[in-house]
Amino acid sequence: MKILVTGFDPFGGESVNPAWEAVSRLPGEINGAEVIRMQIPTSFARAPQMVLEKVREYCPDYVVSVGQAAGRTAITPERIAINMMSASIPDNDGEQPVEQKIEGNGPDGYFSLLPVLEMVKAIEAAGLPGRISNTAGTFVCNRVMYSVLHGCHTRFPGMRSGFIHVPCIPEQTVKHPEWFSLPVEEITRGLEAALSVL
């Protein structure tokens, strides 16, 4: 079995992104499954295209994308992605869509194809905060989640995908002391626990 795990590069003036910092530290194998790690740009246009190109190359059984959610106090598998892009800040390409559909004829939303409740239980069993989230936002994270799920339903039958948001790491709280944070090693451990369910 193959699991493609993606994490974003830094954005919004930050020098690090806890998503990629944690994903890059994942082992190459979890419970016998090969783990393929991939950094993707915080770009509405480029990120989903790159993930789907990697899907065509590796034919993974699962795609799990990971993103930063400043202010989150837990590792949060997402339940649903919506067919909407609306950004309060530009992405790393300077694009800032407002109230734009991702897929003109696509459904309003796609539910995650990951076992989100079981993943949360595994995160909590590892001694870390876990919670299901019911909103992936309308920034690039939601764009990637929706586009890859759209691919599952239209081009890659049998593949399963979803998204996990993670809190910030302590390095980021120097500029933002109000943000909750977890050490990157703990986020990595939480992701590994969630992936072990697959």
The catalytic residue positions are 78, 141, 165
C-alpha–C-alpha distance, residues 24 and 183, integer Å: 14
15, 17, 179: which is closest to 6 by C-alpha? 17
Instruction: Please identify which residue in the block is written with the tokens 């390095």.
Output: 171
30, 6, 35, 3: which is closest to 140 by C-alpha? 6
CB neighbourhood size of 90 (10 A): 14
- Residues with Cβ within 8 Å of 177's Cβ and at least 6 positions away in sequence, in order, are none
Contact 65, 6 (CB under 8 A): yes
C-alpha–C-alpha distance, residues 85 and 142, integer Å: 8
Question: Which amino acid type is present at position 74?
Answer: A
Instruction: Please identify which residue in the block is written with the tokens 């193959």.
Output: 2
